[in-house]
Amino acid sequence: MQSNLSERFLNFSVEIIKLVAKIGKTFVGSQIAGQLIRSTTSAGANYEEACGAESRSDFVHKLQIVLKELRESLYWCD
Neighbour-count burial of 27, counting CB atoms closer than 10 A to its CB (0-12 exposed, 13-18 middle, 19+ buried):
exposed
- Domain count for the chain, please give it: 1
Between the CA of residue 74 and those of 6, 9, 29, what are the distances in Å?
Answer: 19, 14, 16
Average pLDDT over residues 44-72: 96
Q: What's the pLDDT score for residue 8?
A: 95
- Residue 45 sits in a domain of what CATH number? 1.20.1440.60
Let me know: does 47 contact 66? Beta carbons within 8 Å. Answer: yes
* pLDDT value for 2: 54
**Alpha carbon distance 19, 67 (integer Å):** 21
Residue 21 per-residue DSSP state? T
pLDDT digit string (tens) for 8-53?
999 999 999 999 999 888 999 999 999 999 999 999 999 999 999 9
Give residue 56's domain range: 2-77
